[in-house]
A and B are shown apart, each in its own frame.
Chain A
Amino acid sequence: MNILGLSCFYHDSAACALRDGRIIAAAQEERFTRRKNTPDFPVNAINFCIQAEGASILDVDYIAFYEKPYLKFARAVCNHLKAYPFSLKNFMDTMPRWLEDRLILPLVFKKEFGFEGKTLFIKHHLSHAASAFLVSPFEEAAILTADGVGEWATMTRGFGRGNQVQVQKEILFPDSLGLFYTAVTTYLGFPALEGEGIVMGLAGCGDPVYLDKLREIFTIKPDGSFRLDQRFFGFFNEGVRMYTPLFVKTFGAPRLPGEEIEKRHRDMAASLQKLTEEILIMIARNLHAETKMSQLCLAGGLFLNCVANHKILEETPFKKVFVQPAAGDSGGALGAAAYVYYDFLGNKRDYMMNDAALGPEFSSDEIKRILRREGIDFKEMEYPVLAPYIAGKIARGEIIGWFQGKMEYGPRALGNRSILADSRNPGMKDLLNSKVKHRESFRPYAPLVLEEKAKDYFDLKDLSPFMLLAPPVREEKKHLIPSATHVDGTARVQTVNKNFHPKLWQLIKTFEDITGIPIILNTSFNLKGEPIVCSPEDALAGFLKSDMDCLVMENIVVEKAGPAA
């Protein structure tokens, strides 16, 4: 049984192929087209996914789409009507797109690649819920989903048991915690759907002095559900400013992109983050009380917020929290496919998502051919030699492009398409920023830690294999890993398991043997404004355009100074 899950036409288009309930491939379209967060029909990702394990599109039994387009269309039309006449231009721009593809998807699939099988449409938040629970390690769990907006729902809660997912309550548009977060993100001068992570980082640098004022925008009921005072927001006319003059009157002038970040901006970010955490914790506690379940699955773009995720784990009665790596809309492709296979078709669950490495991979020979084609000198090393060679370089302060195995699914680079550096060096964050990433100085970099050593360094209740928890760094260890410790004392930890990531684990272990510290700094392998690299060509281009010192692709080493000695 082959099921192809698709998510597209809003942002983070992706495809995911499920064979007999097991994910055989998944990837975001942006990685192939090199257009970050692209909403385009994911034709490249589809080709990649269906070719995994020798399948063809003609072997696909079902296509599962991550939304119900007619419901979403209904909301779009209502929004346009509500915002008329200001929405007229937007209406004229978007309506043709609905009519030419989004509302006739089965015909598009037939026309584009001859698919004549069944297409099933799964509600947006149900797809998120399914992506969270159906590939989780839990037999039963409470489920909480939250993002900007799906069709109408912006947040859902329910539970999963066996192969079934139940959504029990919904909060509907325009009351949206996700849109609220995005609106304030844009108020702070960062781009919607991209800048939320930056604001989460900025929050650690401020004080939540606007918390009470922000709370006043919300009417929160005892069960955690809320209404948002729409006088402050302009969610109806998409593509236009998300906050109103009243918001500006209340909180001051917005920051324009590129303007200096002042204390009030940092404080606003901190207040936003704090309020978001408060509401999520309240809802999660309530969900626990309703379901009496000890495990929680989270999905939706809001749960890419690893700081909030960690607070939920810490401050609610849930004992375990699972967030799959593609928690945002790209994971909708997985959720829709999983929902069809398990819930809709009633198949038994016997698969768990242990690893995000589901994308394209390249052999050493392929990498060599490309390097030869480009006239790049390289050195081939066996892994037992490679690990100490590279660990030594990291310990000496070099910045390494690390390209191994299959590309990760979801927005995080988890050690297969990563840039690695020394966590001990207090100046490493600035060095990474000036040489490679060119991003805001306040943003933290994430530590990769040997799974078995994680609790020695971080106040961590559970494992964090997908970098979706941000626990505090233990006080006595902070000085050992200054570049991995955010200004608020937390770190976006990824715990590295020896079995799932043997090469990465070995590299960190070797680094520990040299330095005594089982932690390497990790950031995604991309340059500013670009998606994470997918192919050796992308990695090489990023390496050559930046001041990275060394590029390791499988067991092939390229160095800026020429071939390795």
Chain B
Amino acid sequence: MICKKCVLPERKPEIVLNGEGVCNVCLEYEKAKPSFEKPLETDFIKILKQHQGKGEYDCLVMCSGGKDSTAALYYMKKRYKMNVLAFTFDHGFETEEALENVRNAVEILGVDFLFFRTDFMKEMFAKILATGSKAVICHLCSLWYMDLTFKMTARFNIPIIIAGWTKGQSTKQPLMSRCGCSIHQSEFVSMAKATQEFLDQHVRTDPRYKDFPQSMEEVLSKAQKKHKCIVLSPHWFLPHASDVYAEVIKKELKWKLPKVSYPANSTNCYLNFLSVHNAMKHYGYTHYHVEMSKMIREGMMLREEALKLLEVDFDKELLKNIAGKLGCTYEI
């Protein structure tokens, strides 16, 4: 059963549908009736101007090669004329299509580019599959990615991190949202718990991962002590829908949509397929369902649009191949 208003399925104890088929998250949202005050682009520019010229670069743009982060890179360089350092992190499972998008973008925009590839997390990922853990691969990856990003900004004395987070990924729409999805949202409770258990049992105890952060709070507090830096996304401040900026980067940056993706019309790494398949298996929904449900509630997306984007047949061979690269077998 899927909520009649958003796209979250009933998965007790987090998601419970009432007699009319509406989930508790939607009901809570209606009760709270949050205001829809939209952040203005001039607010964003004001922040950029306050920090411009203060570091080796004005901002670091986290660029995965997807449409949102590539558009963020485009905006920072072309629209806001910032001195940009593009940063791409590859844990060994980035798709060639995404990396080509990044290469094209940095070359056409003429920005400095920092590419970081590592297989450091490979065994951690493999262990999730081997142990049958319900931990969410993307959550672990985001801890490492953000930790690394903050370290890079400290190294180059960069005051602003720019992410391609959409309005649905932000939990605090107004300024200075510290990171995208908050795993403390009620929809993420089980996922967060499983991820925390995995970190406690398999990461904290492993000497190779002794420095691996245990939570996003830890990442943020460590970062704040070392080098003050704010994280923003231009998409929170601009009125343009993703189809609008996708067209711009297709034209200006030779950006291409990958042949296979989840959700539809997105660009993600290969591990994302495993991560979302695993999440669907264990929870019946993914963080994309949470993100899109939020956008539906805020009137930024139609439920039908979200259902269409989330509807996908997983390529079993692809999943097996990815698991094989981790030295595992994956049960579908």
Contact = CB atoms under 8 A, between A and B. Distances in A.
Interface of A: 43-44, 46-47, 50-51, 54, 56-58, 110-114, 365-366, 368-370, 372-374, 537
Given A372-B303, A373-B298, 12 more contacts: A43-B42, A47-B40, A51-B239, A56-B45, A56-B79, A114-B45, A114-B46, A368-B302, A369-B296, A372-B296, A373-B297, A373-B299
List the 10 shortest-distance A-B pairs measured between CB atoms, nearest first. A114-B49, A373-B299, A113-B42, A370-B299, A369-B299, A56-B79, A47-B40, A114-B45, A113-B45, A47-B41
Contacts of A110: 49
B111 interface: no
A537 B41 CA distance: 21
Contacts of B80: 56, 58
B257 interface: no
Nearest to A374: B299
Nearest to B297: A373
Query: Interface majority SS on A: helix, strand, loop or mixed?
Result: helix
Interface of B: 5, 36, 40-42, 45-46, 48-49, 79-81, 238-239, 248, 296-303
B48 A114 contact: yes
Contacts of B301: 369
A537 B238 contact: no
A540 to B, nearest CB: 11
A44 B302 contact: no
Contacts of A46: 42
Nearest to B82: A58
A117 B299 CA distance: 37
Nearest to A116: B49
A57 B41 contact: yes
Contact of A56 (B40, B41, B248): B41
A56 B237 CA distance: 12
17 contacts: A43-B42, A44-B40, A46-B42, A47-B41, A56-B41, A56-B79, A56-B80, A57-B42, A57-B45, A58-B45, A110-B49, A112-B42, A114-B46, A366-B299, A372-B5, A372-B299, A373-B296
Contacts of B303: 372
B201 to A, nearest CB: 42
Contact of A43 (B40, B49, B81, B238): B40
A372 B302 contact: yes
A192 B164 CA distance: 48
A114 B80 CA distance: 10
A222 to B, nearest CB: 51
A46 B5 CA distance: 35
Nearest to B248: A54
B302 A369 contact: yes
Contact of A47 (B36, B42, B298): B42
B46 A112 contact: yes
A43 B48 CA distance: 17
Contacts of A114: 45-46, 48-49
B295 to A, nearest CB: 9
Contacts of A54: 248
Nearest to A368: B302
A54 B48 CA distance: 19
Nearest to A365: B302
Contacts of A58: 45, 79-81
B284 to A, nearest CB: 23
Contacts of A112: 42, 46
Contacts of B5: 372
A44 B37 CA distance: 11
Contact of A50 (B41, B297, B299): B41
A113 B46 contact: yes
Contacts of B48: 114
Contacts of B298: 373
A479 B36 CA distance: 48
A112 B45 CA distance: 8
A337 B158 CA distance: 38
A51 B300 CA distance: 19
A553 to B, nearest CB: 13
A111 B297 CA distance: 35
B304 to A, nearest CB: 9
Nearest to B40: A47
Nearest to B30: A375
B49 to A, nearest CB: 4
A393 B48 CA distance: 52
